[in-house]
Amino acid sequence: MIPQSFEYFRPQSISEAIALLQEHGDGAKILSGGQSLIPMMKIRLARPECIIDINRLADLHYVKEEADFLKIGGLTREADLETSDLIRSKYPIILDTAASIADPQVRNMATVGGNLAHGDPANDHPATMLALEAEIVAVGQHGERIIPIKDFFRSVFTTALEHGEILTEIRIPIPPAGSGGAYFKLERKVGDFATVGVAAQVTLDGAGVCQRAGIGLTNVGATPIKATRAEGFLVGKTMDKQQIDQAAQLAAEEAQPSSDLRGPAEYKVSMVRELTKRALVRACERAVR
């Protein structure tokens, strides 16, 4: 199949893009990397009447630390994360995540902002951003607002972005010393969506006691899941095998998978348990380096 006909616009500024969204109403869609929207248009699961291509908005391409946050522009490509010295040296959990997405051809086009704004519960970045307690910056006709990532995902393909808003930035609190994170993904073949994905971020004191834990789950519910019970259990505990195993069990109990072509629900729950163990062990190893 091919997409239905549509109008195409290529704004030169964020304000122009927002004005176009307002003008064309619910029939308008933002195009960033296009790696989710275009395939859906080809099979007519998405039928926008108007495409607003924001790829010329150079101000939305960046990765930097500023004012106690890691800031990632909404149009930053997955490949930019892979090659960023800042990400490679200080944020291995984000490098894990970006490198696991599809293949190099897709990563050269796909954007971090698009991955989040699409609202697909099978995408990889949502779990990692939940573990890192990120914030989403959205800009619309009434100005800028900040959305905590825990409030961002509403249902399948639905986020807290209002019509007329554009995701312009992801903000992540810079982790303190003694922090580490990891993302693990089970997939049927290289480049596939996750059967299960788990992101874990921890902060340890000098004695190996957990001061903070973040755990995000991918593709085991209608939205990405923040495993709050598992996170709360770990705080104040020494990160030994017993505590990690118990946290992994709690994370598995928080998963809400459905049976599908990637496997039965029971299998996915067991994989959440296993991948949570692996992610926490790797996160702890990185935290003490």
CA gap 191, 208 in Å, rounded: 35
Strands 225-226 and 135-140: unpaired
Model confidence at 289, pLDDT cuts 50, 70, 90, reads low
CA gap 210, 239 in Å, rounded: 7
pLDDT tens profile 170-222: 999 999 999 999 999 999 988 889 999 999 999 999 999 999 999 999 999 99
Neighbours of 79 (CB within 10 A): 18
Contact in structure between 46 and 35 (CB atoms under 8 Å) = no
CA gap 18, 25 in Å, rounded: 11
CA gap 137, 178 in Å, rounded: 27
Question: Measuring CA to CA, how many Å separate 204 from each of 63, 200, 213?
Answer: 26, 13, 9
Model confidence at 246, pLDDT cuts 50, 70, 90, reads very high
Q: What is the pTM of this model?
A: 0.96
Q: What is the pLDDT of residue 191?
A: 81
